Chain A
Amino acid sequence: MIQFERRTETSGVWTTISFAVASLAGLAATAVLLASTGADVLQVFGALVKGAVGSPKALATTLVKATPLILTGLATVVAFRAQIWSIGQEGQVFAGAMGGYLGAQLLAGLPALLFFPGVLAFGIAGGMAVAWLSALLRNRFGVNEIISTVMLNYLAVYLLSWLLQGGPWGETGGTISYHQSPMLPDAAFLPALMGSSRLHAGVLLPFLAAAICALVMARTPLGFEIRGLGYNPEALRHKGVNIGRTVTLIMLSSGALAALAGAIELFGVTHRLRADNLIGLGYAGIIVGMIGGLSAWGTVLAGLFFGALASGAVYMRVLGDVPAALVPAIQGITLFLFLCAGVLARYRIVRVVVQ
């Protein structure tokens, strides 16, 4: 008889095996899914890989796509590690883009060295404002952060929708409105890293942010408190940590990271304010952060993986009639299997001889 048995300590090898098995199972499940749509599985996978890492251009796209995912993933890590279940990343991405756009209006004409930090700061401030509302609701009135952040997500999405359609920021051409803002001036485009490619300078920020997150979590008193808050808030309260203030700080940091994703999308990719590029980045970030094991560098890896998927998917779709929903499906499958692997890593399989 085979039995599962809880481990008293986790083993590195077994954990690696668990996640490797999960990855392979994810691949297999995806193949089955593809086959069921009648597609040529190998050809599609080939296209996927080629589109993700097959050329410098594909690599650039992967990085660009990974950028917002890593940032919203990090936003998740910061909050979830403290067991603050903020799922406001979605709204904060929108707030970040709106804040950035507002900044671009106000700071137009400044030299680039001041302009970009300035507009990014505006974006970050937007996300922090939304996050601060949730923190306030939680600390003052005991409102659960899951509920408040979801509500604020809707608020942010509808606010953008209003601003662009009928509101002051919409682009109107003749008689129709396009549900987007006018193009930003060239000076407001994040500079490209290499020549005229789409690889904008913003792709460096997630790595910087991850490094800072990892350092803060592991080495600073704030990180100590964030981790402690997740494990045992009662002991922290007894030992003089101001729980309310720490919660606010955590939500603000999380909001700032998510907002940065929105602002970078605006200045680096779309160059105009529009919703369709932003939708889902926040929710995907939750998945990325979870798959990354709520660690900063794990999140970078997971973000790069899903960035590659998204980049490969573009190429794949050009190639043949593969359903667009494939990428979110793979995300879902991977998350599910990784969560399973996370549980599995804590057990061992034993053979029991029945007497």
Chain B
Amino acid sequence: MTTALRVEGLTKRFAGMIANDDVNFDLLPGEIHCLFGENGAGKSTLSSCIFGFYRPDRGQIFVSGEPVHVGSPIDAIRHGIGMVHQHFVLVPEFTVLENIIVGTQRSGIGLKAADARKKLSRICESYGIVVDLDAYVWQLPVGRQQWVEILKALYLDARILILDEPTAVLTPGESRILFNIIGEMCARGLSIILITHKLAEVMQSNRVTVLRKGRVVATLKTSETSPDELVRLMVGRDVSFSVAKPALAPGEEVLAVEGLTARGHWGETVLNNISFSVARHEILGIAGVAGNGQKELFEVLCGVRKPDAGAIRLRGEDVAGLTPRALMDRGVGHIPDDRFREGLVPEFSIAENLVLGWQRSPKYRTGLMMDRRAIADLARDMIAQYQIAARDETVAAGKLSGGNAQKVIIAREFLHASGLILANQPTRGLDVGVIEYVQRQLLKKRGEGFAIVLASEELSDLFSLADRIAVMFKGEIMGIVDPRTTTIAEVGVLMAGGREGGRS
């Protein structure tokens, strides 16, 4: 059988490092082929080379057995290759339809919106994708933006679709739908390259190629391997999936929220009468399908959004409405879920990002100047400690792989916070080895007496880490449960808006 796509001896170097080293890879028609590997292993780089975004230093790409030159995404599209990037590239001010047709128009000057609409409706219908073509992209939750990217590729008649961590921003429900659609595409003869860190998803593929430090370690039939073997191949050691959580009695209360209410841009209620508290030595989990107010809750707690009613007390002091600065000075650390927009300045170096927000701190200054030596030393420390894959501390954060960028944020917040850590989806996009590391760090902070608010879409994370779990639905807390006496299924009911389940 001819391969849909074949890559031979592909090598890609970035200043001072090899991101892909003599990679051989092939994709069969109708196959889901997973790329699996640590953060920074070179998965996104490989797909970007295939999509013509980067120009490989060496190597040849074959489509349907024919050698092709893919010098740009336009070439890739001509060869029937489509890609959904790890970080979306949509124009927020455009509607879904406009985003799809702008830049993809192949002939003619006028935008043939009517034709495009017809074609897109047909695609949506045949795959069962539900997207409002006239909605503005900024109005869409990130999960929906993913559909737009996929639609765009289908609209361009892609036969080979590269999905770079598509489910990182999807809710479990949306992920299931995505996998149904992927299955449908394969049934129609499309081939999928899927990049994911989630083992459950990897196991749904036909084959897996494991990358380590830019090299192919193995290509295996999924049915002939196991998650344990894959992880061992990926990191070269065993990873324990359940971290041991020592029993600790909660100490005095650190954060207490009472009757917190906030309104959105259009006056709609985004947080409705939220009350909870977190104590020293305690991790409060926030469960819920993304888009049910978690983001807004974190924004209010870290000071970038003003609450409309309610009280927030930090160690007894009313801090509702204080600025982010004032809260940071009171020891609040915040890991936002949108890392490149809210957590990092992509053009800044790793070192600069590690002190972002603390640039005026005397620790990082000598007189009026910033203390470059101290900052560089700190950065080298953090790079070693968090195993951030980068040549050195001067690399721009925007050039890091998704997972490594996240590590920079985590390192910064863990370093500067004292007392309270607000973590919104901190392990999203991290490889299992790093997830294990972050979980250990969270538990270590818990042991040191921090109070932690942790939101995650992975219920298994919450069940292994949290002391209590608050479930959010439509801006409200449906219940706060004890993970030791509750099942995942019961939490699932609350996440869907059910009310049963005890409060504690």
> Is the Cβ of A220 less than 8 Å from the Cβ of B368?
yes
Contact with B along A325-354 (1 / 0, CB 8 A): 000000000000000000000000010111
Known A9-B15, A238-B304: A3·B71 in contact at CB below 8 Å: yes
> Is the Cβ of A232 less than 8 Å from the Cβ of B68?
no
A232 to chain B, nearest CB (A): 5
Interface residues of B, count at CB 8 A: 37
Bound Cα distance from A3 to B324, whole angstroms:
48
The listed residue (B14, B334, B370) touching A219 by CB distance below 8 A is B370
> Is the Cβ of A219 less than 8 Å from the Cβ of B324?
no
Known A221-B360, A224-B359: A234·B342 in contact at CB below 8 Å: yes
**CB-CB < 8 A to A352: which residues of B?**
69, 71
> Is the Cβ of A5 less than 8 Å from the Cβ of B71?
yes
Bound Cα distance from A227 to B352, whole angstroms:
11
In the complex, identify which listed stretch (B93-101, B226-234, B343-351) lies at the interface while the others stay far away: B343-351
**CB-CB < 8 A to A241: which residues of B?**
325, 357
B390 within 8 A of A: no
> Is the Cβ of A221 less than 8 Å from the Cβ of B365?
yes
A2 to chain B, nearest CB (A): 11
Give chain B interface residues in 283-335, CB to chain A under 8 Å. 302, 304, 323-325, 327-328, 334
Contact with A along B62-80 (1 / 0, CB 8 A): 0000111101100000000
B59 to chain A, nearest CB (A): 15
> Is the Cβ of A239 less than 8 Å from the Cβ of B356?
yes
**CB-CB < 8 A to B360: which residues of A?**
221
> Is the Cβ of A237 less than 8 Å from the Cβ of B304?
yes
Contact with B along A68-79 (1 / 0, CB 8 A): 000000000000
**CB-CB < 8 A to B245: which residues of A?**
none
Contact with B along A233-262 (1 / 0, CB 8 A): 011111111100000000000000000000
Bound Cα distance from A219 to B366, whole angstroms:
10
**CB-CB < 8 A to A219: which residues of B?**
369-370, 372
Q: Chain A residue with minimal CB distance to B19?
A: A8
In this complex, which of A215, A231, A232, A354 has the most chain B Cβ atoms within 10 angstroms of its Cβ?
A: A232
B263 within 8 A of A: no
Contact with B along A58-92 (1 / 0, CB 8 A): 00000000000000000000000000000000000
A182 within 8 A of B: no
A225 within 8 A of B: yes
> Which A residues are within 8 Å of any B CB, using their own CB?
3, 5, 8-9, 215, 219-221, 224-225, 227-228, 231-232, 234-242, 350, 352-355
> Which B residues are within 8 Å of any A CB, using their own CB?
14-15, 54-55, 66-69, 71-72, 302, 304, 323-325, 327-328, 334, 336, 341-348, 352, 356-357, 359-360, 365, 368-370, 372
Interface CB pairs A-B, < 8 A, 30: A3-B71, A3-B72, A5-B71, A9-B15, A219-B369, A219-B370, A220-B370, A221-B370, A227-B347, A227-B348, A228-B348, A228-B356, A231-B345, A231-B346, A231-B347, A232-B344, A232-B345, A232-B346, A238-B324, A238-B342, A239-B356, A239-B357, A240-B325, A240-B328, A350-B55, A350-B71, A352-B69, A352-B71, A355-B67, A355-B68
